[in-house]
């Protein structure tokens, strides 16, 4: 049962009788002496009624009758505090055990088609620390939306066209010449990472100097294969896999970029100036109009991006979600403007901005990659901390806050490490259930569980459905991570003060059912953020 929804209905019935229509907010008080649930609705509608909040709160209290509610208390200046009948918590516990992995799944999304595009690192190098955070958040959000009944497609946009790819190919060519014993001409805007030399060396190992007469497209293709293959492998190492890989070059080959530009021009949204073509984004509040085609007739990255988003919308998605780095802040409004110009609904596009992340080791910022000699890569981080710590840590904070990834903390096998702490709760329960597992009796009435620590656990279990839906609606995976840590904390507290297994079979059965439900919810939560629940530790 969704207790909050039931309370809203009960209050609404009373408010309707009073000829009022108010948004009813139900909250869980931090101080449980103020009830299991609380509402400030009396303070919101006091002006309309011409009565004090206390009077209105008492009107609501006196007109609600439900087996769900054990008691109602009114607190100044007009809070209505609800104490819920604990039998409903036990009914929810049985529902958790009955549904197991499916508990919490719902049809909130009504099978609406959602496309989430994230990571999309240019295939000119390896995935670095900042991209890793976006990968974990994007993939976890996809899991959460799917769990809530959305039809989700995870997409990677391959920027395999334009000057960056040309410079990558030329960089490989020059390094290849060096390996062949020839003079090279590495320009300032070329790529100097060790991985460029690795590609060149692979080409030499394949054919010695046989590629010297090859077209630059061969170096472009070899570089793309190498870097894109590495990106896919590195992402798979943290459990991130994509449903669709869309090539920018393919969009160009299909003339979709030219078609989008032609349509913008025919609608009067472009103009030429100094040999370049501009888009009139100032019409939609941008600080200046943006260049689509440069003087040399090459596209800016903005133009193919417009065509790409039009293509996604034309594929029939109800919602597009882009996960970008925070440095793309100014890009959002002009991208939405272009969607509107092309006759599409800009509200279908949501852009999530991920703030920067630093790796910390030995108390200092950890910057140097073992492999590239530059910024730390995702691969370095996996070697240092492991997949589960990466997934947990990067989804533990709101994406709009900067964060430090403490490598030393992520490696600790102690309660200081939050992913260890949560998984220890799961493993501890698994250890008990291996020797003391029981089957659910659906018509069973719980009678021996009555401690405050046990009720705290039960109430937290009951919050899971709400947290899952809220996480989807707000597009915030960290709500799941925070929730499962709180649940683990309550379980550890409960376990420290109450025996689970005794000679009393009834007593033991009820507590086994309680911890079994905790295990299910911990596992369901961890799977949503891409962390494997530990069976043993």
Residue 21 pLDDT? 64
pLDDT tens, position by position, 482-534: 999 999 999 999 999 999 999 999 999 999 999 999 999 999 999 999 999 99
pLDDT tens, position by position, 108-160: 999 999 999 999 999 998 898 889 999 999 999 999 999 999 999 999 999 99
Residue 5 pLDDT? 84
pLDDT tens, position by position, 379-425: 989 999 999 999 999 999 999 999 999 999 999 999 999 999 999 99
Residue 368 pLDDT? 62
Helices (H) and strands (E) in the chain, counts: 21, 15
241 phi and psi angles, rounded to 5 deg:
-135, 145
- The rounded distance, in Å, linking the Cα atoms of 305 and 291 is 13
Q: Which residues, in sequence order, are CB contacts of 372 under 8 Å at separation 6+?
A: 125, 126, 193, 194, 195
Alpha-carbon torsion 169, 171, 176, 177, what sign?
A: positive
Q: Go through the chain and tell me how many residues it has.
A: 537
Does the pLDDT of residue 44 top 90, yes or no? no
Whether this model's pTM surpasses 0.85? yes
Does the pLDDT of residue 20 top 70, yes or no? no
Runs of H (alpha helix) within 287-330: 302-314
Rg of the chain on CA atoms, in Å: 28
Strand partners, 320: 115, 349
Strand partners, 405: 359
pLDDT tens, position by position, 57-89: 998 999 998 989 999 999 999 999 999 888 899
C-alpha pair distances (Å), 319 with each of 111, 303, 322, 369? 11, 21, 10, 37
For residue 343, give both structure tokens: 């006759």
Out of 219-223, 374-378, 428-432, 454-458, least confident range: 374-378
pLDDT tens, position by position, 439-477: 999 889 999 999 999 999 999 999 999 999 999 999 999
Residue 371 pLDDT? 54
Count CB neighbours of 262 within 10 A: 12
Residue 311 pLDDT? 97
**Whether 273 contacts 294, CB under 8 Å:** no
Count CB neighbours of 258 within 10 A: 13
Residue 313 pLDDT? 96
Q: Name the band, by pLDDT with cuts 50, 70 and 90, for residue 436.
A: confident
Does the pLDDT of residue 372 top 60, yes or no? no
Q: Name the band, by pLDDT with cuts 50, 70 and 90, for residue 375.
A: confident
- The rounded distance, in Å, linking the Cα atoms of 505 and 509 is 6
Q: Name the band, by pLDDT with cuts 50, 70 and 90, for residue 373.
A: low
For residue 386, give both structure tokens: 């492991």
- The rounded distance, in Å, linking the Cα atoms of 372 and 247 is 26
Q: What average pLDDT does range 234-262 have in this prediction? A: 97
pLDDT tens, position by position, 300-311: 999 999 999 999
pLDDT tens, position by position, 187-203: 999 998 889 999 999 99
Does the pLDDT of residue 16 top 90, yes or no? no
| Average pLDDT value for the chain | 94
Does the pLDDT of residue 353 top 60, yes or no? yes
Q: What average pLDDT does range 287-291 have in this prediction? A: 95
Return the DSSP state at 326. G
The C-alpha angle with vertex 465 and arms to 439 and 400, in degrees rounded to 5, equals 135
For residue 141, give both structure tokens: 């959000």
Q: What average pLDDT does range 40-45 have in this prediction? A: 89
Q: Which helix (H) or strand (E) holds 155?
A: strand 151-158
C-alpha pair distances (Å), 289 with each of 140, 333, 338, 339? 36, 12, 11, 15
Question: Residue 257: which of 313, 312, 293, 308 has the closest Cα?
Answer: 308
Residue 370 pLDDT? 54
Does the pLDDT of residue 36 top 60, yes or no? yes
**Whether 223 contacts 199, CB under 8 Å:** yes
Q: Name the band, by pLDDT with cuts 50, 70 and 90, for residue 103.
A: very high
Count CB neighbours of 143 within 10 A: 18
DSSP notation for 342-386: TT--GGGEEEEEEPPEEEEETTEE--B-TTTSSBPBHHHHHHHH-
Q: Name the band, by pLDDT with cuts 50, 70 and 90, for residue 294.
A: very high
């Amino acid at each position: 049962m969704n207790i909050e929804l039931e309370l809203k209905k009960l209050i609404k019935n009373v408010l309707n009788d009073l000829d009022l229509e108010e948004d009813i907010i139900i909250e869980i008080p931090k101080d449980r002496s103020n009830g299991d649930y609380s509402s400030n609705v009396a303070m919101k509608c006091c002006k309309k009624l011409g009565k004090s909040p206390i009077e209105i709160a008492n009107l609501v209290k006196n007109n609600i009758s439900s087996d769900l509610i054990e008691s109602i208390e009114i607190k100044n200046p007009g809070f209505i505090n609800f104490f819920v009948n604990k039998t409903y918590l036990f009914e929810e516990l049985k529902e958790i055990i009955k549904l197991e992995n499916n508990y919490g799944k719902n049809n909130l999304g009504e099978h609406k088609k959602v496309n989430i595009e994230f990571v999309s690192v240019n295939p000119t190098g390896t995935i670095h620390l900042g991209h890793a955070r976006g990968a974990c958040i994007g993939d976890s959000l996809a899991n959460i939306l799917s769990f809530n009944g959305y039809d989700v497609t995870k997409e990677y946009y391959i920027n395999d066209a334009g000057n960056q790819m040309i410079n990558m190919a030329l960089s490989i060519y020059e390094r290849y010449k060096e390996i062949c014993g020839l003079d090279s001409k590495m320009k300032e805007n070329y790529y100097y990472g060790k991985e460029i030399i690795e590609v060149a060396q692979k080409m030499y190992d394949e054919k010695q100097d046989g590629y010297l007469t090859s077209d630059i497209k061969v170096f472009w293709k070899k570089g793309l294969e190498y870097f894109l293959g590495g990106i896919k492998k590195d992402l798979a190492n943290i459990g991130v896999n994509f449903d669709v890989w869309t090539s920018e070059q393919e969009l160009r080959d299909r003339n979709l970029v030219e078609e989008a530009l032609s349509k913008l021009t025919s609608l009067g949204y472009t103009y030429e100036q100094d040999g370049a073509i501009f888009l009139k984004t100032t019409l939609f509040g941008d600080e200046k109009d943006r260049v689509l085609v440069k003087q040399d007739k090459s596209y800016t990255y903005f133009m193919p991006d417009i065509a790409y988003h039009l293509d996604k919308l034309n594929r029939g998605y109800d919602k597009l979600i882009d996960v970008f780095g925070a440095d793309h802040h100014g890009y959002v409004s002009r991208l939405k403007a272009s969607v509107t110009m092309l006759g599409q609904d800009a509200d279908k596009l949501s852009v999530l901005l991920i703030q920067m992340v630093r790796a910390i080791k030995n108390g200092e910022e950890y910057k140097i990659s073992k492999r590239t000699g530059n910024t730390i890569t995702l691969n370095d981080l996996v070697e240092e901390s492991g997949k589960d710590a990466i997934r947990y840590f990067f989804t533990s904070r709101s994406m709009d806050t900067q964060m430090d990834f403490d490598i030393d903390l992520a490696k600790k096998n102690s309660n200081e490490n939050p992913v260890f702490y949560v998984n220890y709760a799961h493993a501890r329960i698994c250890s008990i259930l291996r020797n003391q597992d029981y089957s659910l009796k659906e018509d069973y009435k719980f009678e021996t569980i009555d401690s405050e620590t046990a009720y705290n656990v039960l109430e937290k279990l009951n919050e899971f459905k709400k947290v899952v839906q809220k996480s989807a609606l707000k597009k915030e995976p960290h709500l799941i991570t925070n929730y499962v840590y709180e649940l683990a904390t309550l379980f550890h507290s409960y376990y420290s003060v109450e025996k689970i297994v005794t000679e009393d079979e009834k007593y033991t059965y009820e507590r086994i059912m309680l911890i079994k439900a905790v295990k299910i919810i911990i596992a369901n939560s961890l799977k949503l953020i891409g962390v494997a629940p530990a069976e043993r530790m």
